[in-house]
Each structure stands twice: as structure tokens, then as C-alpha cells.
Structure 1
């Protein structure tokens, strides 16, 4: 089969976007891996499949697959920004604000006049069973009343948050020297996380600025991770390190995260603003 695609990126987190609004698209995990392969395919962190809305009031739906493994995942913040940019640029909608359903969330996306996209990522989840995370027999250290859980075998503490997908965030002195590639896979596959986890390494510069690296579940380290940026900022706000609006410097670019959870309640939505860029379009034979 010949498959049309668009290559996009959001702060260096890159995607292959496929339009399945006109007819259903079914690809095998092997075909997904072929698309994601940076030597034998197009190359990407994730593959985004654009679909018609599933529920009344939804503009679209979309599915997310890891390029390295071909497995379907729940959420991708940078991908959601590329999604709305794709929909507008390809004439699938004339709206600048759209409602999009993923496998486990309904997102509100807004294309701004400056070309950046703001995404309402919904409220963070802290309950261990919903992340999911197994805290049995662990005693957390409280930072401003927020649990920092010890992963004793790794000698680290992590804050545990879900943004529609699980995240373990640890504060580090310097992201450039943090053992991301060595420690990331061990955190990702730690037995305390039954569905594995994204591992975030957070450096606080001041109350409104941080640096972040994320070792993503099923993808390895990426140049940016939208849900990871949201989870890291939420964890930093709850721990008392950060203010409600934070610029997150990832290796691929800058994201702005806003969360009023301490002033408006923990169910306040997380807002993420950042770039979405089309790189090229093409066709591949699978």
C-alpha cells in the first residue's frame, strides 16, 4: 500500500501524521515500526492517526502509536499541538479551537494568532491506583505536603503524576549531567509501575523557569515531551518549588505550562502552549 503522510514536530518531538478521516486505516505494529524507523522509514517519535469525531460535539479523534515499538499509547501533549496545526493547514476544519478525543481524554486545542498552540490537558491525577503506581510498604518524604516516593533500589525519590499517561518526576541538580540514558530505562520498567512509566528529570532554575529531560515509555529520550512537561511543572508546583506559570526548556524547544491547582483546587486544568511545525509531506510504500 502507498501511504500519504505529513512529518511534523513540536519542540523537536517529531511525528508522522496520517489522515484517516475519509476511510479507516489499520496498520500492523510492524508497519508502524517501519514508519517510525529513522533509517528504513520516515522516522519519528510517534505516529498520529487523525480520525472523525466519535461522540456528539467532538470535532475529531486521534490515535497515538510509538514509532519505535508500534504500540498504542494514551496521550501525547506535543502531538496534540501538531494535530490542530495539521487539521487547520490541511483544510479539515476552519475552526481555530477544536475538541479532540483520544483513547482516554477529551482535549480542547486552540491555534493562536502567533502560530503557537494552547492545549487544555485536563486535570492531573495523583491517586496511585489511577496512575498506576504501587506504593505498598513505601514511606514517602513530604515536600510541602506532596509525596516524594523512594525507589530504594535506584537510590532516588520521584513524584508520581498522571497526565493521561504515567510520569515519575525527580528533581536533579543539572539535567545535562543527569544519568537519563542509564537510569531512564530502569525507571520506565520499574516494578512499582505496572504499565511502565515516563521518567522525568527536572532542574529548577527559578520559580518560573526549569529545564527538563524525559525518557519516554516505549520511545526512549525525546527532544521534548508535552505530558512530561505538564507532569514536571505540576509536581514542582505541589512541592512548592514553582509558581503557577512556568517556562520549560526542553532540548528541542520551549513550552509554557500553567496550572492553578494550589489556588483553584487540584482539579484545575493544566494548560500547555508551544510550537507546532510542519516539516514535509510525502508518500511511503508499506
Structure 2
């Protein structure tokens, strides 16, 4: 069988996107591993499979596979690529797209400038000591600090004490933000010991929400990390955080499987 696919990129992740609506395909873990190999296969950070809807009330079902062949529960990182793909391949013409995933429903909207806005989730924010806040988003907990000088003992003393006191089920990640202007901030992501981490979309959204809560910054906000810039939209507590990002179609191809 000749499998048609598209390589796409967003937030410096590359995706192999497969149209399972107009072509029938089954991916075994072994096949995914072979395709994921960057030397002998196609190579990708994740494989995105677009399928007909399982539920008549949504437009598509969307599955995400990691390079080890395992299906991922979260498909947030590839959501914008998914939307760009179905629009460019004329699988849908609507401006609002609903899609089911392994972890629930996603809602996406085409803005007036043709950017894709993804409705993510409602962040749960709790104020804490030392000008820190905790933000729970999509099952992950972050400790956030904005415009705060970070002394050498910040992680050993402040973060360690804070995590011990709150007894989190899992050690939270730490977002340190710096507000640049009313619509822009930068941030870095750390583990609870101070080691730098690769930031995903949840961390960008968390940083944007933290900056808006801090004051002096307004939605929409350009949130910048060393990886990329995302635009975050948030109207405050009891509202969904949304994001848009630049995604690129790298090439279309086909491979025998």
C-alpha cells in the first residue's frame, strides 16, 4: 500500500500527518516505530492520524502517536497542524471545528486573519506565598512567578519549601515570566530543582495566564520562549485559555507500507 502523508511543523515539533478520512490505514506500533526513524523512515516527533468522527456531533476524530508506537492521550501540540491540514485539504470548510480525541473534545476556530485559535481549558489558579501562584491546566500543575529576581537559593529554599508544604501528587514545573510590555512576555520553564525544561503548549498558556493575573499585561499576549512565540488569549478566571501558533507545511509525500 502507498501511504500519502504531509510533514508539518509547529512549536519546533515536526509531525507526520495522515489523512485517514479518504484513505484506509492501520498503524501497528512496529510500523510507527519504522516510520519514526529519522535515518531509515520519515522521522517525526509525533504522528497525527485524522479519522472520520466517532460521534455524529463532531467533525473528526484525531489520534496522536509517539515515536515508540504508543498512542498519546494529549494531542494539544499538534492541534494547530491538524486544523491547517483539514482546511488545506478541503476536508472541511467550516470556520469552527470540533474534534474528539483520546482525552476529550477540542474546539478550534479560524480567525479573520486565517490563524487557528485552539480552545484549551479553564486554568485553575491559586495565590500563594512569596508572590507565587499555582496554575493547574490540562492535568498539570505549575508554580508561576512574574518579574521576580531569582536568587541562587530560589529552588533550594522557596520552591522546595512550597512543594513540601502543599504536598503535590507530582512535582510541579516552575514558570518564571518577565513582562516586556502590555502584550508581550518571555518565560523559562524549570523542574522543581532548577533544571531547564523544554516548554510545551501548556507551559506557554500557563505563562500567559500568570502574566495577565499579575497585572500590567492584557489579552491577547505574545508569549515567547527560546523555542517559539505563541499568542495566548484569556479573559480571566472562569474562562477558557486559548492559543494560536504559526504552523508550516514542510512537504507532501508518500511511502510504501
The alignment's TM-score, normalised by the length of structure 2, stands at 0.74
Q: Once superposed, what is the RMSD of the aligned Cα atoms?
A: 3.5
Structure 1 residues 89 and 160: CA distance shift in structure 2, 3 A: same
How many residue pairs get matched?
A: 235
- Residue 281 in 1 paired to residue 235 in 2? no
CA-CA distance at 1:102 after TM superposition: 1.6
Tell me, yes or no, if the aligned pair for 1:109 and 1:120 is still in contact at 8 Å.
yes
Structure 1 residues 123 and 141: CA distance shift in structure 2, 3 A: closer
- Residue 92 in 1 paired to residue 67 in 2? no
Structure 1 residues 38 and 105: CA distance shift in structure 2, 3 A: same
CA-CA distance at 1:254 after TM superposition: 2.0
Mapped partners of 1:202, 1:71: distance in 2: 32
- Pick the aligned partner of 2:184 from 193, 198, 209: 209
Structure 1 residues 126 and 105: CA distance shift in structure 2, 3 A: farther
Residues 1-286 of structure 1 mapped to structure 2, 5 A cutoff: 1-22=1-22, 25-67=25-67, 69-125=68-124, 141-142=128-129, 147=133, 159-163=134-138, 165-169=139-143, 171=145, 199=173, 201-206=175-180, 208-212=183-187, 225-238=200-213, 242-261=217-236, 266-286=237-257
Structure 1 residues 70 and 166: CA distance shift in structure 2, 3 A: farther
Structure 1 residues 125 and 28: CA distance shift in structure 2, 3 A: farther
Larger radius of gyration between Structure 1 and Structure 2: 2
Tell me, yes or no, if the aligned pair for 1:211 and 1:248 is still in contact at 8 Å.
yes
2:159 maps to which residue?
A: none
CA-CA distance at 1:253 after TM superposition: 3.0
Structure 1 residues 42 and 215: CA distance shift in structure 2, 3 A: farther
1:181 maps to which residue?
A: none
Structure 1 residues 234 and 74: CA distance shift in structure 2, 3 A: farther
**DSSP-derived class of the 1:4 partner:** strand
Tell me, yes or no, if the aligned pair for 2:123 and 2:135 is still in contact at 8 Å.
no
CA-CA distance at 1:267 after TM superposition: 2.8
Mapped partners of 1:168, 1:25: distance in 2: 38
Mapped partners of 1:161, 1:23: distance in 2: 39
**DSSP-derived class of the 2:129 partner:** strand
Tell me, yes or no, if the aligned pair for 1:16 and 1:46 is still in contact at 8 Å.
yes
Mapped partners of 1:126, 1:72: distance in 2: 30
Deviations 1:173-215 (A, max 9, x none): 69xxxxxxxxxxxxxxxx9656x98x56443233532234568
Mapped partners of 2:224, 2:82: distance in 1: 22
The alignment's TM-score, normalised by the length of structure 1, stands at 0.67
